[in-house]
Chain A
Amino acid sequence: MANLTRRTFIQAAGGVAAVGLIGAAPRDAAAAKAKVVVLGGGYGGAIAAKYIRMADPTIDVTMIEQDHNYYSCPLSNAVIGGFRDINVQKHSWAKAASKHGYKVIHDTATLIDPKKKVVKLAGGKSVPYDRIVVSPGVSYKYGDIEGHSKKISETVIPHAWKAGPQTVMLRKQLEAMKDGGTVIIVPPKNPFRCPPGPYERVSLIAYYLKHHKPKSKILILDPKNKFSKKGLFEGGWKKHYGYGTGKSLMEWLPADGGGKVVSIQPGSTMGATVVAGDMEDEHQGDVVNIIPNQEAGKIAIDSGLADKSGWCPVDKKTFESKLHKGVHVIGDASIATKMPKSGYAANSQGKVVANAVVAMLHGKDPGTASYVNTCYSFLTPTHGISVAAVYKLKGGVISKVKGSGGLSPGDASDEFKAQEAQYNESWYGSIMSDMFA
């Protein structure tokens, strides 16, 4: 037995059950053929897979990803605003997978069995793991609004909250809309992926309307009474889009002002009658964009990784699920306390989990974690704003380091705003290379 390598032992013992058996035992570097599965190749998963391999190239890493191409959500609002090509948002895993030596299986994971330590795929395969990193993003609760459905979102009312075909669909609907039309945007309830995203989208649709369809307007029907970077967005809307005047390109109805959407009657190709507020007011939208309420990605829910909130409780030091051992959940699906559900947060968590998984497979303590979020938004193509924070773990909470981070100043100069718009673009360049190169 002592002369057997770990892999031959597993093979000799007949596979899966044995993995669980010795999974708990501390390992040394020689016990290296550990198997890690990463579910999802987005901002969290692509980083976890690459950084595990960078830290320990002897670990066998397999990514399971349903799509063949990746479209980045961050910066996709610029596609909707009409000043960025969707193809700039498109990436694939091949280069990073071959450079860093991880495998990619393009299939949909249907169930994780944490006892047997296997993940089942829609194609029929079962993939065994010693540890699994789950980074599935979010799923959408269409049923919260009467008359809405997944099918409606794919045909008439795109959410465009996963970049790709729906991003293009929303852009085309805006192009098809007559000047003088109304765009209705319905942001989701908290918590949700990319808190400033709906309001950046409002800004960039306004940018398009201002220059091409100036008689049109945007109505925001919000289930909330406040939102991320609110002061900065409203300041930008005043500066660029007449917000607060009679000529404003947008109107924001908060929850307390009739903003809660109850139901919709979709049109045949685009738009809808949207019913909102206690008085059940009817609003006609020529283009309607409902960003549904959200919960953890389906695989996480189906595999029992989420609690009653619909999100996944984790140990913040290792992102190991509090409900199932050996399973780590990162990114939007996880409950990361003070960290927002952002791309950068998922990137940062991908590195923390990579370090933890490698350490734990070697039977070591992962040490102290460090986390960052940096998130830019556009008000126009040349006006950027940002929010940032550095975090440390304190008493089980990922807390902001005192004095760190915060928002762009409200009184920033035009030059400052222009630089932040450039840094937004560059942020994209670097974070994409972090994921895909």
Chain B
Amino acid sequence: MGHRKIRNLVLAGLMAAGTMALSGTADAAGASDAMLANTCAGCHGTNGVSGGPAIPSIAGMKKEILFSMMQQFKDQSRPSTIMGRIAKGYSEGELHQIAAFFEKQKWVNTTAATDAAMAAKGAKLHKSKKCKGCHEENGATQDSEENMFRMAGQWPGSLYLMMKNYQAHDYPNAPKKMIKRLKKLSDADLHALANFYASQK
């Protein structure tokens, strides 16, 4: 059988499938990156710039990091209240599309007021507790190898909750040393660190 003949058979098959599926053909093409990512904006804000204290901004996050976090929410290796339930609604390919969309969006610093005294205490902890070794540039650095996202200018409430959750729950994919150090910190320390990173713009 020649190539052309095979191709014609394939085409005939596709046409038959197309006729049967009818309205299903558009669905098979898949939603665009923006269509998928815009469904997140109700909670994470337009283009991933969050408007709320406890929900993080995800604009400008490296796509590998965001993809991996969503994938971990989906397989529940990253504990969550609601993100696990939502991430399960998207295929791996769709999660890649969503991550690619948000990587292209511009980071915007939080508008939340930060406490100067707490931020100063947080700045000391950032050094003394060795956060600084990895979270360079006062938390502005992102590293996709380590799933390390930007903390500088992030909503302090969301940073506090993330650290609190690292203390309370099991995160098999998180750096063990970081977890060990985090677990030694008091609640006031966590608030101080959250204020410090949030105040970095």
Residue positions of A touching B, CB distance < 8 A: 50-51, 317, 344, 347-348, 351-352, 355, 365, 367-372, 374, 386, 388-396, 400-401, 403-406, 408, 412, 415-416, 419-420, 422-423, 425-434, 437
User: Contact: A389 with B41, CB < 8 Å?
Assistant: no
Q: Which of B29, B52, B55, B158 contacts A368 (CB 8 A)?
A: B29
**Roughly how many angstroms separate A22 CA and B148 CA in the complex, as a whole number?**
53
Chain A contacts for B45, CB-based, 8 A: 430, 433-434
Chain B contacts for A428, CB-based, 8 A: 52
User: Contact: B42 with A347, CB < 8 Å?
Assistant: yes
User: Contact: B85 with A393, CB < 8 Å?
Assistant: no
B88 within 8 A of A: yes
Q: Known contacts A426-B157, A430-B45, A431-B43; decide if A390 and B89 are in contact (CB<8 Å).
A: yes
User: Contact: B39 with A368, CB < 8 Å?
Assistant: no
User: Contact: B43 with A386, CB < 8 Å?
Assistant: no
Give min CB distance, B85 to chain A, whole Å. 5
17 residue pairs of the A-B complex, CB under 8 angstroms, read A317-B26, A347-B41, A348-B42, A351-B39, A367-B26, A374-B43, A388-B86, A400-B89, A404-B86, A405-B89, A408-B81, A420-B82, A426-B51, A426-B158, A427-B43, A434-B41, A434-B42
- Which residues, 32 to 78 on B, are CB-close (under 8 Å) to A? 32, 34-36, 38-46, 49-55
User: Contact: A351 with B35, CB < 8 Å?
Assistant: yes
Residue ID in chain A nearest B112 by CB atoms: A429
Per-residue contact bits, chain B 140-164, to A (CB 8 Å; 1 contact, 0 not): 0000000000000000011001000
User: Contact: B46 with A437, CB < 8 Å?
Assistant: yes
User: Contact: B85 with A430, CB < 8 Å?
Assistant: no
Chain B contacts for A423, CB-based, 8 A: 43, 54-55, 81-82
User: Contact: B54 with A404, CB < 8 Å?
Assistant: no
User: Contact: B86 with A430, CB < 8 Å?
Assistant: no
Chain B contacts for A394, CB-based, 8 A: 27
User: Contact: B55 with A427, CB < 8 Å?
Assistant: yes
Chain A contacts for B29, CB-based, 8 A: 367-368
Q: Which of A395, A430, A431 contacts B23 (CB 8 A)?
A: A395
Q: Which of B27, B34, B44, B89 contacts A389 (CB 8 A)?
A: B89
User: Contact: A430 with B41, CB < 8 Å?
Assistant: yes
**Roughly how many angstroms separate A426 CA and B90 CA in the complex, as a whole number?**
23
B31 within 8 A of A: yes
**Roughly how many angstroms separate A300 CA and B9 CA in the complex, as a whole number?**
50
User: Contact: A370 with B54, CB < 8 Å?
Assistant: no
10 additional contacts, CB 8 Å, given A370-B35, A408-B81?
A: A347-B42, A367-B26, A374-B42, A405-B85, A415-B168, A420-B81, A426-B50, A427-B43, A433-B51, A434-B45
User: Contact: A372 with B52, CB < 8 Å?
Assistant: no
B30 within 8 A of A: yes
Pairs of residues from A and B, 9 with the lowest C-beta to C-beta distance, nearest first: A390-B89, A426-B52, A429-B52, A404-B89, A433-B51, A372-B39, A429-B51, A426-B55, A426-B54
Q: Known contacts A388-B86, A431-B42, A437-B51; decide if A368 and B81 are in contact (CB<8 Å).
A: no
Q: Known contacts A372-B86, A386-B82, A405-B86; decide if A430 and B51 are in contact (CB<8 Å).
A: yes
Chain B contacts for A393, CB-based, 8 A: 27
User: Contact: B50 with A430, CB < 8 Å?
Assistant: yes
Chain A contacts for B31, CB-based, 8 A: 367-370
**Roughly how many angstroms separate A349 CA and B197 CA in the complex, as a whole number?**
36
Give min CB distance, A74 to chain B, whole Å. 11
**Roughly how many angstroms separate A389 CA and B86 CA in the complex, as a whole number?**
6
**Roughly how many angstroms separate A374 CA and B89 CA in the complex, as a whole number?**
12
Residue ID in chain A nearest B35 by CB atoms: A370
- Which residues, 78 to 111 on B, are CB-close (under 8 Å) to A? 81-82, 85-86, 88-90
Chain A contacts for B82, CB-based, 8 A: 374, 386, 388, 408, 420, 423
User: Contact: A427 with B81, CB < 8 Å?
Assistant: no
**Roughly how many angstroms separate A347 CA and B85 CA in the complex, as a whole number?**
19
Give min CB distance, A125 to chain B, whole Å. 31
**Roughly how many angstroms separate A352 CA and B90 CA in the complex, as a whole number?**
17
**Roughly how many angstroms separate A400 CA and B86 CA in the complex, as a whole number?**
11
Chain B contacts for A352, CB-based, 8 A: 35
Residue ID in chain B nearest A368 by CB atoms: B31
Chain A contacts for B161, CB-based, 8 A: 419, 422
Residue ID in chain B nearest A431 by CB atoms: B42
Per-residue contact bits, chain B 108-143, to A (CB 8 Å; 1 contact, 0 not): 000000000000000000000000000000000000
User: Contact: B39 with A371, CB < 8 Å?
Assistant: yes
Chain B contacts for A403, CB-based, 8 A: 88-89
Give min CB distance, A338 to chain B, whole Å. 13
Chain B contacts for A370, CB-based, 8 A: 31, 35-36, 39
**Roughly how many angstroms separate A408 CA and B85 CA in the complex, as a whole number?**
9
